[in-house]
Structure 1
């Protein structure tokens, strides 16, 4: 079985205090969906708000509370979400995690394959997709290849990406529910910001960013 997940790269948030977070997974990749626990949602929000502090480097102090932490995310030009698309082939056990610097905000780039274009998928590891007729061959790390690549029928790419979009829509709903508890006055703005910057809800067939 072929599975595509939207994943967020996490870290060990030992010093994060604005809200409760979960312990990181072994591979430090959090699969986003509507089934995440409140602490896992907290981890996702900790990553997103912390990673996007670059626009606020001039701020000499740390945020005083959860509302101020989230506000920095809302005022960044473009939300950057470390992670991307993880592909798994359960029949072989092969996993292709997203490469560094790809970013979940670029998840729709996978649709380029339907137009015969090869998307850049990041580095370290360096996944590489190649078109071979009606099949996409995905090497989990083209710089250090081990084993057989994952073979994705080209015709299944829209279906698999639709499943990713469904996961992200459910995750967005869960974010809204989480925000009503921790940042109630910012809930609508937070949901709108993430929906826009991560291009979550617009139709895949109109893949324009």
Structure 2
């Protein structure tokens, strides 16, 4: 069976004090869905804010709210990660490559339409179109090597599942923000929805 999940690359945050975050190894791929703990949601928000920290401003405000300011720009933010594809039958997994961003997850609809899509640097995963019916994914860029094959007609359904995972994550963000950064809660939820392109209808490219 083929499963696809949205994942965020999170790491360690020693000395982080704005809100609780879990202890975990560096370069950890955290699935974003509705099962995350409060601390895991906090780690996701801290990761995304830190990744975009060059866009911070100096307006005086609460320190926790100020830390999240980089996420509130109208043009959106980037989120390290992407989509993780697993073939549970063979145990083969494709993870997003370096410099890939979760904000571009809808680009997989281009693969479903028969087009190409950049999936990141090292380990340089890539997608190959086999005729008009099958997509072959190469997790590590090598050929020959382990592969995952997906029927192109299945990709929209699998991506609808990704959208559902992100929608459930967004509900957790709303609850988390009301508890930890209530003054920024509404703006933060809107920014996450906008930047990760979560709730808009899922449509294949024309």
TM-score, normalization by structure 1 = 0.90
Q: Deviations over 1:132-184 (max 9, x none)?
A: 02111000011x45743001111110011000000000000100000010011
> Match of 1:166, SS?
helix
* Residue equivalent to 2:104: 106
CA–CA distance in structure 2, aligned partners of residues 27 and 74 of structure 1 = 25
Separation of aligned partners in 2, 1:146 and 1:23: 38
Cα distance in 2, alignment partners of residues 207 and 21 from structure 1: 38
Could you list the runs of 4 or more consecutive aligned residues of structure 1 that deviate by over 4 angstroms after TM superposition?
none
After superposition, residues 72-83 of structure 1 pair within 5 angstroms as 72-75=70-73, 77-83=75-81
- Where does residue 169 of structure 1 map in the other structure? 167
**Structure 1 counterpart of 2:181, from 180, 183, 186:** 183
Contact 2:111 2:117 in 1 (8 A): yes
Which 5+ residue runs of structure 1 have no aligned equivalent?
none
2:130 match: 132
Paired position in structure 2 for 1:87 = 85
Number of equivalent positions: 204
Alignment correspondent of 1:31 = 31
- 107-116 or 36-45: bigger deviation: 107-116
Q: What is the 5 A alignment of 1:60-79?
A: 65-75=63-73, 77-79=75-77
What's the Cα RMSD here? 2.1
- Identify if the C-alpha distance between structure 1 residues 64 and 184 changes in structure 2 by more than 3 Å, giving closer, same or farther: closer
Q: Which moved more, 1:23-32 or 1:111-120?
A: 23-32
TM-score normalised by length of structure 2: 0.92
